[in-house]
Structure 1
Amino acid sequence: MKRYTDADTYDNKIPSVVTIGTFDGVHIGHKKIIEQLVEAAMQNNLESVILTFFPHPRMVLQKDTNIKLINTIDERIQILEKTGLDNLVIHPFTKAFSRLSAGEYVEKMLVEKLNVRHVIIGYDHRFGRNRNSNIIDLASYGIQNDFTVEEISKQDIDNVAVSSTKIREALLDGDITKANVYLGYNFMLTGKIVRGKELGRTLEYPTANLHIKENYKLIPKKGVYIVKSEIENKTCYGMMNIGNNPTVNGTHQTIETHFFDASFNLYDRKIQIEMLKRIRDEKKFDSVEDLKMAMQQDENFSREYINSIL
Structure 2
Amino acid sequence: MKIIQTLHSDFENDTVVTIGTFDGVHIGHQKIIERLVTSAKNNGLKSAILTFFPHPRMVLQKDTKIKMLNTIDEKAKIMEALGLDYLVIKKFTTEFSRITAKDFVSDVLVKHLHAKKVIIGYDHHFGRNRTANIDDLRKFGEKQGFKVEEISAQDINDVSVSSTKIRTALLEGDIKTANSYLGYNYMLNGTVVRGKGLGKNIGFPTANLHIEETYKLIPSEGVYVVKAEISKHIYYGMMNIGINPTVSADNKQSIEINFFNLNESLYGSELQIDMLDRIRNEQKFDSVDALKAQLNQDKLAALQYIKNHETH
Task: Identify the TM-score tier after normalising by the shorter chain.
Answer: over 0.9
TM-score w.r.t. the length of structure 1 is 0.98
Return closer, same or farther for 1:250/1:260 CA change in 2, 3 Å cut-off: farther
Farther off after superposition, 264-273 or 230-239: 264-273
User: Residue in 1 aligned with 2:283?
Assistant: 283
Tell me the residue number matched to 1:206: 205
State the aligned residue count. Answer: 309
Partners of 2:34 and 2:257 lie apart in 1 by: 36
* Aligned residue number for residue 30 of structure 2: 31
Gaps of 5+ in 2: none
Partner residue, 1:97: 96
Cα distance in structure 2, aligned partners of 1:203 and 1:130: 57
Cross-structure match for 1:5: 5
SS of residue matched to 1:137: helix
CA shift for structure 1 position 47: 1.0
Cα deviation, residue 285, structure 1? 0.6
Mapped partners of 1:59, 1:268: distance in 2: 30
Q: Give SS of 1:36's match.
A: helix
Deviations 1:23-49 (A, max 9, x none): 111111001101111111111111111
What secondary structure is seen at the aligned counterpart in 1 of 2:296?
helix
Cα distance in 1, alignment partners of residues 237 and 289 from structure 2: 21
Counterpart of 1:69 in 2: which secondary structure? coil
Paired position in structure 2 for 1:247: 246
Distance 1:148 1:12 in 2: 19
Residue type matched to 2:270 in 1?
K
Aligned residues: percent identity?
Answer: 59
Residue 178 of structure 2 corresponds to which residue in structure 1? 179
Gaps of 5+ in 1: none
- Residue 207 of structure 1, CA deviation: 0.4
**1:101 and 1:260 mapped to 2: Cα distance?**
56
Secondary structure in 2 matching 1:197: coil
1:10-69 per-position Cα deviation (integer Å, ceiling 9, x unaligned):
x43321110001111111100110111111111111111111111111111111110001
Give the drift of 1:264: 1.8
User: Amino acid of the residue matched to residue 116 of structure 1?
Assistant: A
Deviates more, 1:141-150 or 1:272-281: 141-150
C-alpha deviation, 1:6, in angstroms: 2.2
SS class of match (2:8): helix
1:194 maps onto 2:193 in alignment: yes
Q: In structure 2, how many angstroms separate the alpha carbons of the residues matched to 1:215 and 1:12?
A: 32
Aligned position for 1:163: 162
Q: Which residue of 2 aligns with 1:292?
A: 292
Please give the root-mean-square deviation of Cα atoms over the aligned residues, in Å: 0.9
